[in-house]
Chains A and B, each alone.
Chain A
Amino acid sequence: MGPLTYFGEISTEWNYVIALFIGMAFGYIMEASGFSSSRKLVGVFYGYDFAVLRVFVTATLVAIIGLLYMGYFGWIDYEVLFVHPTFVFSAAIGGIIMGFGFITGGFCPGTSLCAAAIGKIDGIVFTIALFVGIMVYSWIYPILEPWYNTGNLGHIKITEWLGVSEGWFVFGFAIIAVVLFYITNLIRKKIKPVHY
């Protein structure tokens, strides 16, 4: 997170206003793509709907391609983008917990808010549980802290870690994504369709 421009051409207040509109657009598109339905979301785990996978992988690709091009043409300062430090073990454990939550609950945090916003009861329950979870986590954080901070690799990008150029990495990722889309499409055709 950070201001859109760092020389104050856009004031802090307007940054928030723009953030609000981006958030609204994000929520709208998520709802419009059907991501407020837990059946669609868990479809990726049961193999009858891969929309989530496609959307997220495509979004990642579009974002990274756009960022690299814009950085190359000097429209954005690619170098000042904040890279979160990577904690390998806690990321893996967190991913497993998140995956379980995703299958059993049928939402991820963003989509649960989206579902709650359109009045879905499961979405509202999930959202309340989400905050309870956050609270419980905060209470037991001192116990979990050593786990939380293990495997710190620092502010590292995968291209730096692998030692490949960003362009070739993204190209490889795009090829993998296309293959993935093709395979998941084959799986979807084999699985008995679920109507919801």
Chain B
Amino acid sequence: MSKRYIVLTLLLVGSAFGLTQLPEKGPRSPITPQELLIAVNDQSRFLETHFIAKRLIERDPSLFLIDIRMLYEFEEYNIPGSFNIPLEELLLPDWEAYIDQDGMDIVFYSNSDVFADQAWMLSKQKGYNNLYVMKGGLNEWFRTIIQPTPPDETAPTAAFEKYAFERAACIYFGGASAGVASVPIAKKKVTVRKKEKKAAEGGC
């Protein structure tokens, strides 16, 4: 057998043996940096408060709201049906089953959308799907749903329709009572009948 064959054989077997000696690699990120970059630039992860309110009113079972503020903030106010996972605890294994749910739309919200977006980023890097951020956070929620401002009189019809929805959502989420915006009630005229004079009765 020629020397060349022996060298090649040793090379082949040696490199195959080398494969068995490779140290274990750490858990690989399920998403590549390029994929993450594309996802970050994609604005479709931001959901409007109206859209979320509508789905909440319709009791959409595939919507899962996660409040990533601190517990005391959550206890002070939260969107009905939301779940509290403070941002610091987001990567704890206890919460994994809540965030990693295929078939559920996970929506993060905080006071604004900065921290919520950070939560989105962290979860996205773990390779979870269907993650969203509530655009504008709770501030936007208050501005549009809890305390909606009426549009200008010259605004287009769509703005009024939107406002009508906001009013209705406001009532649903307990921001106001139904009577406030209704038409002022005209005062009822109370007609008082004059008493007919009666002839004096009796007498002496």
Question: Which residue of B9, B20, B34 is within 8 Å of A167 (Cβ)?
Answer: B20
B-binding segment of A29-37, A105-113, A148-156, A172-180:
A172-180
Q: Is the CB of B28 within 8 A of A65?
A: no
A61 near B20 with CB under 8 A, answer no
Task: Select which of A7, A72, A178 is within 8 A of B9 by beta carbon.
Answer: A178
Confirm or deny: B180 has a beta carbon within 8 angstroms of a beta carbon on chain A.
no
A168 to B18, CA, bound (A): 10
Which applies to chain B's interface (DSSP): helix, strand, loop or mixed?
helix
Taking a contact as CB atoms under 8 Å apart, the answer to whether A61 and B16 are in contact is yes
Which of B13, B15, B17 lies at the interface centre, i.e. has the most chain A CB atoms within 10 A of its CB? B15
Question: What CA separation (Å) do A72 and B24 show in the bound complex?
Answer: 10
- Number of B interface residues, CB 8 Å? 16
Please give, as numbers and ranges, the residues of chain A lying within 8 Å of B20 by CB-CB distance: 165, 167-168, 171
**Cβ of B25: which chain A residues have Cβ within 8 Å of it?**
72
- How many A residues have CB within 8 A of the partner chain? 23
CA distance A185 to B9 in the complex (A): 14
Q: Which residues of A contact B (CB under 8 A)?
A: 7, 58, 61-62, 65, 68-69, 72, 77, 79, 165-168, 170-171, 173-175, 177-178, 181, 185
B residues adjacent to A (C-beta < 8 A) = 1, 9, 12-13, 15-22, 25, 28, 32, 34
The 8 closest A-B pairs by CB, nearest first: A167-B19, A174-B16, A167-B20, A171-B16, A174-B13, A170-B16, A168-B20, A171-B20
